[in-house]
């Protein structure tokens, strides 16, 4: 009887060991999934796909991108927050990760505690553009005109609560002006109305505005980056007129929270090497973005600071989730 029990215990232990080995092998061989909380074809999706192949080469794993749009990126974020911290499920998020912390009255996850920041992939400054018929040549002219005509100028807004929307509200806070927001369902119709002169002003992603600026259909008044951009060397940074103003969108790679620090470092190191590869850098720059690649510790501090920074702008704007 005693031998029988010993044999059962030994068989059970052997079975458990076999299952754990099989699970570990399956986990190691399974594709790494990067979830994207935005539709295919958008900038966040492009950043994820630019990174995926090079990251897979660094990890010697297959890396796939899965689009899970919805709730301003919160759907994908929730899925990653609740995934095991085994390195098989990652999140390519964007500025909304920080904005949503105050934009949404409640979230099904904690944007800090439930994620392990791995690295910032890129930053994406925007450009303040005006229809050429507006009698302003620069930011100082615009501030002067807006103060002379409070509530008579308009900003086209591609999506309420977006980084471009809040770039405009941050501008109004700094300049002390009242410019009316005109919301649209998407960036494309917003750009079209500014091109048509239906709305005078817009903060636009560099990639969406560059061709129109070069064609003379839009006038660039200032860029939101701390310094001038190579794409527009003659266009001042808005901060040159409004000291302290800066508002760049960013894209970053996250893992579920409570990840083993060694695994987080391994994933971060692989991603940072991938970001600096010529092909990935070229694809990021083709979107008008700037390649980044910082440490988990640096990225973590940045995200926490962004949550605080955007909270003040969201409160000022009164923005509500769509």
Enter the pTM of the model. Answer: 0.81
Per-residue pLDDT of the chain (322 residues; tens, 9 = 90+): 444 444 444 444 444 443 333 333 335 678 999 999 988 888 889 899 999 999 999 999 999 999 999 888 999 999 999 999 999 999 999 999 999 999 998 999 999 999 999 999 999 999 999 999 999 999 999 999 999 999 999 999 988 888 899 999 999 999 999 999 999 988 889 999 999 999 999 999 888 898 999 999 999 999 999 999 888 899 999 999 999 999 989 999 999 999 999 999 999 999 999 999 999 999 998 888 899 999 999 999 999 999 999 998 898 888 777 6
Distance CA 85, CA 258 (A): 7
Give the domains, in start order, of the chain with CATH numbers.
32-123+249-317 (3.40.190.150), 126-240 (3.40.190.10)
The CA-atom distances, in angstroms, between 318 and each of 146, 160, 202, 290 are 20, 10, 19, 30
Question: Residue 215: which residues within 8 A CB-CB, separation 6 or more?
Answer: none
């Amino acid at each position: 009887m005693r031998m029988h029990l010993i044999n059962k215990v030994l068989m059970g232990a052997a079975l458990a060991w076999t299952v754990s080995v099989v699970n570990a092998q399956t986990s190691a061989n399974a594709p790494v999934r990067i979830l994207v909380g935005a539709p295919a074809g958008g900038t966040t999706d492009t950043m994820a796909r630019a990174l995926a192949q090079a990251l897979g080469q660094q990890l010697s794993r297959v890396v796939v991108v899965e689009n899970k749009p919805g709730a301003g990126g919160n759907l994908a974020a929730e899925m990653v927050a609740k995934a095991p911290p085994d390195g098989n499920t990652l999140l390519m998020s964007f500025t909304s990760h920080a904005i949503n912390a105050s934009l949404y009255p409640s979230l099904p996850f904690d944007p800090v505690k439930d994620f392990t920041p791995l690295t910032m992939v890129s930053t994406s400054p925007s450009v303040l553009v005006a229809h050429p018929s507006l009698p302003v040549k620069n930011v100082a002219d615009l501030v002067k005109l807006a103060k002379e005509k409070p509530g008579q100028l308009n900003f086209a807004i591609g999506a309420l609560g977006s980084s471009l929307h809040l770039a405009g509200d941050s501008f109004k806070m700094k300049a002390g002006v009242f410019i009316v927001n005109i919301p649209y369902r998407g960036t494309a119709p917003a750009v079209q109305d500014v091109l048509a002169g239906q709305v005078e002003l817009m903060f636009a992603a560099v990639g969406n505005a560059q061709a129109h600026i070069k064609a003379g259909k839009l006038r660039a008044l200032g860029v939101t980056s701390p310094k001038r951009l190579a794409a527009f060397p003659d266009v001042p940074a808005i901060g040159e007129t409004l000291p302290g103003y800066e508002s760049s969108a960013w894209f970053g790679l996250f893992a579920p929270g409570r990840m083993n620090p060694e695994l987080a470092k391994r994933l971060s190191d692989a991603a940072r090497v991938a970001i600096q590869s010529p092909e990935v850098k070229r694809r990021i720059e083709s979107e008008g973005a700037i390649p980044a690649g910082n440490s988990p510790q640096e990225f973590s501090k940045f995200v926490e600071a962004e949550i605080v920074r955007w909270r003040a702008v969201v409160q000022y704007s009164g923005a509500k989730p769509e």
